[in-house]
Amino acid sequence: MSTPRSLPRELLHLAWPVLIAQAAVMANGVIDTLMAGRLSSTDLAAVGIGASIYAIVFVTAMGVLLALTPVVSHHYGARRFAEIGADVRQCAWLALALSVIAFIVLKHPDPLLQFSRLTPEVELKVRAYLDGVAWAVPGVLFFRVFFGFTTGIGRPRPVMAFNLLGLACKAPLNWVFMYGHFGFPAMGGAGCGWSSAVITWTVATLAWLWCRRDAEYAPYGVFARFDPPRLAALREFLVLGLPMGATFLVDVTAFTFMALFIARLGPETSAAHQIAANVAVFFFMVPLALGSATGVVVGQALGAGDSRRARHAGLLGLAVGCTIAAILGTAIYLGAVPLARAYTTDSKVAAAAATLLSIVAFYHLADAVQAVMAQVLRGYKRATAPMVIYAVALWGVGLGGGYLLGLTDTFGAPRGAAGFWIAGVGSLGIAGAGVLGYFLRISAVKVGPPHEPRQ
């Protein structure tokens, strides 16, 4: 194994391809929002609500599969290369099972739709969107297995390349499905979901063909043999992955139910919220990429038995993440009005969105702290304590506080969508402080190379 790079160089090496890859994924959402917004506020609201429901299902399943990244990075740091291929094959079985569950849930979304009290027109469009995007789940989850594998061994650039390919296809395929070209019916906003399905299957297929043929993946033996599901191996993934998935479920349900509650305030308010959420999620890619890179470095260092390097990597990732977040938050605050106007031609929606974006500026800073620290803790294979912290902060303070501030007169006149975003800032601040404190405690303990997942 080559001599490890310095921490700043290693984080940069891993972070910038992940950033571009994640930004490409989020840019798909931006394209959907921009193109749906040009159709009507109803289509924009339907795509936003449908994407929120999809996020609940997909992100939870993805969170379980993210257990592969720390497992692979620990093996890589300890030079247990043969074990990497075996774990990737087992994770593929897990992705298959999760795909079936997610598909069924998206095809039967009634329990989720009942919270939003949608108008019949919007609900019809939401269901049509979910019918299409349900077919995207298997492709995107199998690609996530590839992501966890190649990122864990320190090769994030292929993920970047495939995500950029998917992004290049997004607008043309949206155009085909939304407006009805080449013999396809005009689906309106629902076409965004069907284009996503085509793209995810294409990208996943190409990624695994690349993995099979690229000589640099050969030492890990992913395709060396066929393995049936092994309960012991799957259990190890679930011990680590289920708390991760639950954490993502807490995070995304807090965000999604926020959108569903805001939908009660009408299509214009819902559309304004969708713009603010889209900006928040897009900028979130920066700390997410940095956290992903930091978590891999931490996992590889722990696999090699270097606790000191792992702790220093976590602290460096946090410092860089907070600095960048402060810069981006300032840019969002100062550019709130032109940014909102770029999303919609509706002056009322743009004005409401600009107000929310001024709050998103502070939301982003709090989001950056928890994003980096949560992924650092995954590098330590710690998932249960963060899950509890997130449940209390995001559900209790964020969603509960948002409901009280936004829809009731408990603390004065209802603040509408702004009340939810204000509560969101407070909840992320609490979550960030909690996971940071937990990291400082566990990283002070010297550990040797772990062989089994720990909570």
CA angle in degrees (0–180, nearest 5) for 425-428-11: 120
Half-sphere exposure of 97 (CA within 13 A, CB side): 10
Confidence at residue 162, expressed as pLDDT on a 0 to 100 scale: 95
Confidence at residue 108, expressed as pLDDT on a 0 to 100 scale: 85
CB proximity list for 223: less than 8 A, separation 6 or greater: 85, 211, 212
Residue ranges of the chain whose pLDDT lies below 70? 1-5, 115-117, 446-455
Confidence at residue 453, expressed as pLDDT on a 0 to 100 scale: 43
Confidence at residue 78, expressed as pLDDT on a 0 to 100 scale: 87
Confidence at residue 446, expressed as pLDDT on a 0 to 100 scale: 63
* Tokens matching residue 177: 């499905």
Cα separation, 277 vs 402, in Å, equals: 15
Confidence at residue 187, expressed as pLDDT on a 0 to 100 scale: 82
pTM (two decimals): 0.81
Confidence at residue 425, expressed as pLDDT on a 0 to 100 scale: 93
What is the per-residue pLDDT across 296-327, written as a single tens digit (0 to 9) for each?
999 999 998 889 999 999 999 999 999 999 99
Confidence at residue 430, expressed as pLDDT on a 0 to 100 scale: 95
CA angle in degrees (0–180, nearest 5) for 72-317-26: 75
Cα separation, 340 vs 353, in Å, equals: 6
**Where are the chain's structural domains?**
14-442
Confidence at residue 447, expressed as pLDDT on a 0 to 100 scale: 53
Confidence at residue 370, expressed as pLDDT on a 0 to 100 scale: 92
Q: Which CA distances in Å does 405 have to 4, 49, 199, 411, 417?
A: 50, 21, 40, 6, 9
Cα separation, 104 vs 207, in Å, equals: 25
Confidence at residue 436, expressed as pLDDT on a 0 to 100 scale: 95
Confidence at residue 196, expressed as pLDDT on a 0 to 100 scale: 92
